[in-house]
Amino acid sequence: MTRMTAATSARAAFASLAMVGAGAAAATVSAATQAVAARAFDAKTQAVIAIAISAGAMIATVVSAMVLESRLADSSLSQKSYLPRWSILTGVIGGALIALTPLAVGFLVIGLPLVMLGLQVGRVHAISTHAWRGEVVTGTVLGVGSIGAFLLSLTPSEWAFPLLGVAVIGAHLARAWNAPVRADEHPRLGHVVWVGLETSISAVVPLALNTVILATVDAESAVAFRLVLTVLGVLQPVLGYLRTRLLSINSQRTVLAFSSMTVVTLAAVIVLHFTDVFRAIFDESWVAVSTPALLLACVWKLLSIPTTIPFTSLRRQGKVRLLFCLRLCTSVIYIGLGSLASAHWGSLGATFLSLAIAEGMAAILFAIAAHIVRLRAETSSQA
C-alpha cells in the first residue's frame, strides 16, 4: 500500500512538473516576440508592441477568469472546466496575423492580444483538468517555435514572425484535440460578473503603469518595464499553477513546493542577468534594465505568494464581492504608488520598489480579510 501511495505521489509530482515546464515553454512567446522586435523595430515601435502585450495580458486574464475561474468559484457546477471553440479560433486567427507581420507591424499589434487570450484560456483549462500530456505537446510546439523565431531574428531572414505564428496555430490545434469544447451548465451570472470585475481592476495595473512610464519617462523605459515583466513571466507557470490549483483545493504541500520553486526560478533570473544572457537575447533594449530594478521586481513577485494564499481561500468560499472590494483597494494602491514613483523619480527601480511595497500591503490586507471571514464562519458554526 505504501509503495502504491509513493508511486501515485511520484506520478502526481511528475505531472505537476510537466505542467510547469509546459507553461514555461508557452511563456516564451512574449519573450520571443520582444526579442525579435528588438532587432526588427525602433524603440517607439517596440513600445507600441510592449503596450499591445500588456493589453493582451490584461484581456486574457479577465476573459479567462470570467469564463473558467468563475466556474471554480461556483460550487453548484459539476463540470468545472472546458475549452470554448471561440478561444481556439481566436488563437488561430491571432497566430495567422503574427505570421503576416512582415507585411505590416499592425498585424502583430492586433494578433498578440488574440493569441494571448487563446493561450491563457487553454492554460487555465489544462491546469483545472490536470491535462498535462496535452500541455507537454503544446509547450513543445511553442518552445520550438519561439526558439526558432529568435534564431531567425539573428539573420537577415524575415521568417521569424511567420514561424512564431505557425507555432501558435499548431499549439492551439494541439490543445483542441480531444478537449471538451462546450459546457451543459453555466456559472451563476453574479459569479461571472464579480469575478470579472475583480480580475479587471487587478489586471489593468501592468497596462496602466506601462502607459504611465511611456508618458512620463520615455519609450526605452516603457520597453524595459515590459521586458522585466516578460522575463518574470517565467514565473507565470509556477505562480499561475499554484493559484489555479489552490482555487480548486487547499494544499499546504503545494504551497511549500511551489514557493520553493519560485525562489529557485528568481535566483536563475538573477544569474541570467549577471551573465548577460538577457542582454544577448533582447539586444540593446535590455540596457535600460538596471540590476537594482530587476532585484526589486523579484522581491515584488516573491511577495505575491503571501497574497495568493488568502485570495484563493476567499475565492473558493465564493466571497466574490469581498474580493472585488479588496482588489479595488489594492489596485488603487498599486497604480497610485507606481505612477507617483515613475513620475517623480523617473526610474524603473523606484517603480518596482513601489510595487513591492504595494504587494506587501496587499498581502496584509488579504490576510486580515481571510482571518475575519474564518472567525465569522467559526462563530456561526458554534451558534
Residue 159: all three cell numbers together: 521568417
Q: Is 85 helix (H, G, I), strand (E, B) or coil?
A: helix
Report the interhelical angle of 348-382 vs 304-316 (nearest 10°). Answer: 30
Q: State phi, psi for 11 to the nearest 5 degrees.
A: -65, -40
CB atoms within 10 A of CB 4: 8
**Exposed (0-12), middle (13-18) or buried (19+): which is 361, by Cβ within 10 Å?**
middle
Is 275 inside any structural domain? yes
Residue 316, domain extent: 2-377
Identify whether 382 is part of a domain: no
pTM: 0.78
CA distance 50 to 54: 6
Structural domain includes residue 383:
no
C-alpha cell read off for 238? 509556477
Domain assignment of residue 39, yes or no: yes
DSSP 146-214: HHHHHHHHTSS-S-HHHHHHHHHHHHHHHHHTT-----SS---HHHHHHHHHHHHHHHHHHHHHHHHHH
**114, containing H or E segment:** helix 105-129
Residue 304 lies in a domain: yes
H or E stretch covering 247: helix 236-248
Asked if residue 336 is part of any domain, the answer here is yes
User: Please, is 147 exposed, middle or buried when counting C-beta atoms within 10 Å of its C-beta (0-12, 13-18, 19+)?
Assistant: middle
d(CA 123, CA 253): 22
- The whole-number pLDDT of residue 32 equals 92
Task: Tally the domains of the chain.
Answer: 1
The predicted pLDDT at position 1 comes to: 45
Is position 63 within any domain? yes
239, 234, 236, 233: which is closest to 260 by C-alpha?
239
The CA-to-CA distance between both ends of the chain, in Å, stands at 42
Structural domain contains residue 8: yes
Give the residues of the chain that fall short of pLDDT 50: 1, 4
Asked if 88 and 125 count as a contact pair (C-beta separation under 8 A), the reply is no
Cα 378 to Cα 136, 246, 364, 371: the distances in Å are 43, 21, 21, 11
